[in-house]
Structure 1
């Protein structure tokens, strides 16, 4: 589980990253990345599915960040948004998708 100090928690923080960050996307996720403190936010809209499916999508994305924290560059604020295609996808596919997109964004060490 990501520590509280590593999470984006306020609406103004999300708005700031959306306004000033760059976006990178692939089949399962969209990332907004901006220089700043090392903080992460996770979003799954109702397009992903019901509450169970949305929570699973966010859990998968959080797990990818938690297990690969040492590979991610410090001082980046990242918002990870689940796309509707993420329904029913395995952890390995989500991890590969996230890491490929972070590599494309040059957010990995």
Structure 2
């Protein structure tokens, strides 16, 4: 009986671990200005491939879907107008925090 219980706990633990490992998903960022060349950027533990006016990470960990990760990406590629995954997107306040130190943000702020 104890062996069955141990096996059940082990199976459940394996299933939960596998589910967490498979929780990685796609995150996309829409850029205000298209990039001149294809670029790879690591932000929030995810590798984003940026081309034109979009950056995409196809296997991003859940921690990459935060304003902090968005901010790290914006520092490299410029102002981001949308940032999100299949189930969640950053709201307007998070996007404002994200773009606070975006590449070229000081030039945009001083031009206003």
- Tell me whether the two structures share a fold, i.e. TM-score over 0.5: no
Larger radius of gyration: 2
For normalisation by structure 2, the TM-score amounts to 0.28
For normalisation by structure 1, the TM-score amounts to 0.28
Which structure is higher in RCO with an 8 Å CA cutoff and minimum separation 6? 1
